[in-house]
Structure 1
Amino acid sequence: MFLEMSRPSGAACSLLLLWSSWMAQVVGSEGDPSCWMGALQFDTCCLPPPRGKASCWEGSFSYQRCCLSGAILPVVDVNSVEDISQLGGCELNIFQEFKTRSGAWYKENRANLVLFHEFVYLFSRFDAMFKSCAPAALTALLLKLESMYFADESTWNGLFQIYVEKYHQAVAEGVLLQSHHENGWPLLEGIRKVNALRSSGGEPAELGTREVVDLVVCYCGRGERVDWLRAFQKMPWRPEDRSLSTRRHVALKFYHKCGELFSEEEREAERQRLVADWGSMFRTVEVRYVDDALRADDCSAYLAYIVDRYDDLPEFTVFLHADAPEHIPTLDLLTDTVFAASRGYLPNELGFLHLSHNYVHQEVNCSASNSSCQPREKWEIQNLWKNVFGSSLVPSVTDGSLSAYCCVQFLARRERILQRDRLFYQRALSYFGETPDSYYALFPVGRVVRMVDTLGRTPCQLAMYIWHILFGEEMHLPRRHRDPRMPLFIRMLNIEVEAVLEAQAGADGHDGGSFQLNGEARSDTTYDRLQTLFQEE
């Protein structure tokens, strides 16, 4: 049977002509690419002509712009007016770009340095932003809630109450519509994530029976100040008081690496002083002296702790230097991580976390024929790898296989530490501390120990790039903000200059290049804040 196709009517002819005209304008293109995100795509919004899908259009996001032209949203300077609503509403580029980035965060778990910067900006100006674009202000508030999902009840309840009230106010005033949800504002995804995170933890069931977090501080004494430990109870620039949680769940353990400088009487006096100074702030305080064959360091201190506590490890251990603030981008990252861990709020997939600020990206794409870019420690690192892991195969340093943060301030979950047996750690402790073997391994022949290596603790300096592998991470550790296992509060802190440059080169997506560093001097810098912890009371 053949189907007979009748000649189209006049109206149909007009539609076909319009379709042909429209197709001629868009063949080989997808309209304006800045319009599309998630379910909002060219095919789903622009067909059929001449208006496409009505629910796709909002403000300056129109059929004409998105489907028939390549127009770009005009950039507005939000600092040029006192009230941003004078410039417009949700159609402003600052809000539409924020919608795109926040949608990618919630729907694809895709991080963006610009998003981390702009949601804080929007939240800090909430009332003005709410007046101009309620969905944007509410989304920023959801991201703020997500960044503090582990907070104590009073802090959390206060901000969550504001969100609920403002959401209902927006609905009542008609400034939050169904079309906002249809056009991509991720409010539903955001509140679902916030609620899931908040319900994921809470005070540990074993409250009062044992510590949840051990702070292991590699310490030398002799004037080495650790006043920054006060921050685990309260930081002067933040209202939260975490004293009760710290006393209940966090134990402090000094692993003293300079015992050779002390007599037995001085050792005991030092022990009693440290316990007296910090005993009231933490669940327990212990002091253990580490005596090495040559000179103790963080390798021998950390490994000695694991050997000591292997059968009685807490859920989390945080390994730190006595000068930790010099290596960590902000104390907020450290104290928030410990607080979240102590309350059971760190995600299960987070088994290891570097806390330092300096990411070392080993020589990537460094040709073997180019001797000028060969790492000076290539032979030593490969030899160290063989001796520690007992492996005949070693990773390539020159192609970037071994990259991580330096300066060994990190958190490890108990199950990650226990992936290796006690004998492994005993052998590693013997290699780095109880014998000079790690120093002998710096040279291909003989049994040589150079003074410069002893003073600089060269073997342990080289080992800073393998700690994450000891505890079950991949050899190439990503930057924190690109690691999807990390919660928002960890990913948004420590934005290095190198990370910004990588983002501007496209590492975090096409819109990463709009991120700008602000070098303006401020009185609330990390340095200024840190000084308040050392002020005499």
Structure 2
Amino acid sequence: MKGGFRIAGFCVLCLVLFSLYLLEAHLQDICDQYGAGSYVINWLDRNGTAPSPHSEIIPGDKVIVMAKMEEEPTEWVEDELPDWQRAIYTVNPSPETRLNDSALMTPLNKGHESMAYFTYIIDNYDNLPSTVVFLHAHRAGFLMAWHVDAPLHDNVIAMRNLKLDFVQQNGYVNLRCNWNPGCKSAHRFNSHVTDEIWAEVFDGTSTPPLNISSPTDQEVPGQNYLRKPAEIGAACCAQFAVSRDQIRNRPLEDYVKFRQWVIDTELGDASSGRVMEFLWHIIFGMKGIYCPDEQVCYCQVYGQC
């Protein structure tokens, strides 16, 4: 009888230890994803962050593009980043906003931020500034903006530190260097970009689709086909910078087609937006896996060498 209790007690102990091991691993992953350690250090040293500009500054040859809900505050862009042009699209405009001739609006509230991103490119294709940065509307915050890869998860700090010369040199730059999530080996196989969706998105563009099993990359001489990669990976979460030349490597008609796919697809708002989140780097000419070494990325993108 005593032996039975010992065995049962041992089994319970093993179960508890195993549960604690899994919990620790999960917490470590969450802390890494949220940059918890760096956030605490930067929060304690927050008085050392760069002050806001006070004198009048003329926006330069660069623009911040974002999608916002009607109720989201985005005044921080003009107040804190006055040297940037702004293109802020309301995706759920109120009747009052619809009557405002100067307000930017998307044709549909679908695909998360992708609808605003494509709309900006389509409407400004012939008049793009040298650098186009695509950002989310929330400025900062440990929970809301955990994916902003800057001290205090603050997009203001990220934009002040962004190396525009590297954007021009590389063409496309993901604003998140942290590999978690999106770049880890387990993240490179996803159920969002299926063979069918790949074909739908790129069909009728300047880079017609090829599946992994297609026998040739060039069935028609002079045509640039785009083969679906076996793996697709990039650090989340649809915040990136692109040069004007890189955008124009594709014709305007491609972006019209991409936006129309978001409009027409049976996938909902979140799912269609997630598809585009996995495809931005490919649309802008990068390989299926765009995961530069984290330390190299921080050095090249933000000058944190």
- Seen in structure 2, the aligned counterparts of structure 1 residues 340 and 213 have a Cα distance that, compared at 3 Å, is farther
Q: What's 1:258 paired with?
A: 92
Q: What's 1:405 paired with?
A: 235
Superposition map of 1:134-533 within 5 A: 211-221=60-70, 223-226=71-74, 228-229=76-77, 232-233=80-81, 246=82, 249-259=83-93, 262-263=94-95, 265-268=96-99, 287-292=103-108, 295=110, 297-325=112-140, 326=145, 327-330=147-150, 334-335=155-156, 338-339=159-160, 345-346=165-166, 348-356=168-176, 358-361=180-183, 363=185, 375=190, 377=191, 380-389=193-202, 390-393=208-211, 394-397=227-230, 401-433=231-263, 436=264, 438-439=265-266, 453-454=267-268, 456-479=269-292, 481-483=294-296, 487=300, 489-490=302-303
What is the deviation of 1:459?
1.4
Mapped partners of 1:424, 1:315: distance in 2: 20
Max Rg structure: 1
Q: What's 2:35 paired with?
A: none
| Secondary structure of the corresponding residue to residue 460 of structure 1 | helix
1:270-289 Cα offsets, whole Å, 9 max, x none, are: x7xxxxxxxxxxxxxx6311
1:196-246 Cα offsets, whole Å, 9 max, x none, are: xxxxxxxxxxx97x731111111111x32335436734xxxxxxxxxxxx3
Q: What's 1:193 paired with?
A: none
What is the deviation of 1:417?
0.5
Mapped partners of 2:238, 2:232: distance in 1: 15
Q: Contact conserved, 2:167 with 2:243, CA < 8 A, in 1?
A: no
| Secondary structure of the corresponding residue to residue 457 of structure 1 | helix
Amino acid at match of 2:175: L
Mapped partners of 1:488, 1:428: distance in 2: 27
1:356-390 Cα offsets, whole Å, 9 max, x none, are: 35431365599xxxxxxx74x16x53322222223
What is the deviation of 1:486?
5.0
Unaligned 5+ runs, structure 1: 1-116, 118-123, 125-150, 152-206, 234-245, 272-285, 367-373, 440-452, 493-537
| Secondary structure of the corresponding residue to residue 173 of structure 2 | strand
Identity, in percent, stands at 19
| Secondary structure of the corresponding residue to residue 255 of structure 1 | strand
Q: Contact conserved, 1:350 with 1:485, CA < 8 A, in 2?
A: no
What is the deviation of 1:480?
5.3
Amino acid at match of 2:135: L
Mapped partners of 1:457, 1:365: distance in 2: 18
Q: Contact conserved, 1:481 with 1:491, CA < 8 A, in 2?
A: no
Q: What's 1:513 paired with?
A: none
Given the two structures, how large is their TM-score scaled by the length of structure 1?
0.37
- Seen in structure 2, the aligned counterparts of structure 1 residues 482 and 403 have a Cα distance that, compared at 3 Å, is farther
Amino acid at match of 1:419: N
What is the deviation of 1:477?
1.0
1:483-516 Cα offsets, whole Å, 9 max, x none, are: 4795273556xxxxxxxxxxxxxxxxxxxxxxxx
Greater fraction strand? 2
Amino acid at match of 2:274: Q
Mapped partners of 1:231, 1:478: distance in 2: 33
- Seen in structure 2, the aligned counterparts of structure 1 residues 481 and 359 have a Cα distance that, compared at 3 Å, is same
What is the deviation of 1:355?
1.7
RMSD over aligned Cα, in angstroms? 3.7
Greater fraction helix? 1
1:138-191 Cα offsets, whole Å, 9 max, x none, are: xxxxxxxxxxxxx9xxxxxxxxxxxxxxxxxxxxxxxxxxxxxxxxxxxxxxxx
Q: Contact conserved, 2:62 with 2:84, CA < 8 A, in 1?
A: yes
Amino acid at match of 1:361: C
Mapped partners of 2:185, 2:117: distance in 1: 28
| Secondary structure of the corresponding residue to residue 99 of structure 2 | helix
- Seen in structure 2, the aligned counterparts of structure 1 residues 384 and 486 have a Cα distance that, compared at 3 Å, is farther
Amino acid at match of 1:353: V
Unaligned 5+ runs, structure 2: 1-37, 39-44, 51-56, 203-207, 212-226
Given the two structures, how large is their TM-score scaled by the length of structure 2?
0.61
Amino acid at match of 1:359: P
Mapped partners of 1:225, 1:406: distance in 2: 23
- Seen in structure 2, the aligned counterparts of structure 1 residues 391 and 305 have a Cα distance that, compared at 3 Å, is same
